[in-house]
């Protein structure tokens, strides 16, 4: 079973915005886990928001771009807590293996 530390060696970019509570939740978890990835603020970089929507079909954030080719959502709206670290780690690992 993958752990958050297993993500440290991956090429991940986080697409988010400062006003987004799900983004803050994801970033707080990453900080607690010692995970540091580049962030793209879609408010400051409109072309990033356009890319996210074009490639995922979604306007929601946060999203993680794994290895420059696979998108993984950084939120779980179907869950009461809106975020499950174990599920995120599994989804990122699966995306990295593609």
Quote the CA–CA distance of 46 and 74 in Å, as a whole number: 19
Q: Print pLDDT tens along the chain (98 aa).
A: 678 988 988 999 999 999 999 999 999 999 999 999 999 999 999 999 999 999 999 989 999 999 999 999 999 989 998 999 999 999 999 999 98
For residues 72 and 7, give the distance between their C-alpha atoms in angstroms, rounded to a whole number.
Answer: 13
Domains along the chain with CATH numbers: 4-96 (3.40.30.10)
The pTM of the full predicted model, rounded to 2 decimals, is 0.93
């Amino acid at each position: 079973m993958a752990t958050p530390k297993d993500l440290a060696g991956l090429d991940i970019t986080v697409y988010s915005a400062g006003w987004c509570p799900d983004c803050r939740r994801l970033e707080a978890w990453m900080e607690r886990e010692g995970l540091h990835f580049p962030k793209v603020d879609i408010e400051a970089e409109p072309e990033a928001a356009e890319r996210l929507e074009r490639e995922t079909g979604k306007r929601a954030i946060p999203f993680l771009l794994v290895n420059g080719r696979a998108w993984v959502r950084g939120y779980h709206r179907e869950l009461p807590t809106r975020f499950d670290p174990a599920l995120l780690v599994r989804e990122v690992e699966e995306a990295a293996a593609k």
